[in-house]
Structure formats: C-alpha cells, structure tokens
C-alpha cells in the first residue's frame, strides 16, 4: 500500500488522525494533514482505508500494491 495526501485539499477535519494516528498527524498551526508513513505495514492497512473513506475532503489516496 502506498498512501498519498493532497495537503491543498485537506480541510483539517482530523478524522485521518483518529483512524490511523501511526500514519497521519496534523500541523499545529492549521490542522493540515501530515503523512507520517507513506508505506504503512499491513496491520495498519484497514485503518488507513477507513481514514481515506472518512476524509471529508477526499484528500487521501491509496494505491494498493501486490
């Protein structure tokens, strides 16, 4: 899995951090997403998928890799 975030689209909702805090964080000053791990381990994949689905701005993209 490869995770891509679009910081321009991000509205700082924070749902990604609540779903997968090991992969996402937010800037203190504006709440914009920070990608901590663009290639998370398999045990975090479901949480990352949930974060992408919950993102109100659709700022998280996932590329599934074999």
Please check the confidence at residue 66 and state whether its pLDDT lies above 90. no
pLDDT band at 55 (very low <50, low <70, confident <90, very high): very high
Instruction: Tell me the pLDDT tens digit for each residue of 8-54.
Output: 999 999 999 999 999 999 999 999 999 999 999 999 999 999 999 99
Query: Domain limits of the chain?
Result: 2-63
Closest-CA residue to 19 (of 60, 10, 4): 60
Q: Class of 2-63 per CATH?
A: alpha beta
- pLDDT value, residue 8: 97
The CA–CA distances, whole Å, from 47 to 8, 17, 65 equal: 22, 10, 16
- pLDDT value, residue 2: 98
The CA–CA distances, whole Å, from 37 to 12, 20, 32, 46, 65 equal: 18, 10, 16, 14, 15
- The Cα–Cα gap between 17 and 47 comes to 10
Closest-CA residue to 13 (of 36, 38, 37, 30): 30
- pLDDT value, residue 38: 98
């Amino acid at each position: 899995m490869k995770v891509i975030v679009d910081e321009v689209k991000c509205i700082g909702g924070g749902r990604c951090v609540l779903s997968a805090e090991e992969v996402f964080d937010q800037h203190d000053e504006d709440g914009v997403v920070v990608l901590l791990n663009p290639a998370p381990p398999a045990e975090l994949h479901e949480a990352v998928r949930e974060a992408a689905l919950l993102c109100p701005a659709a700022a998280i993209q996932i590329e599934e890799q074999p």
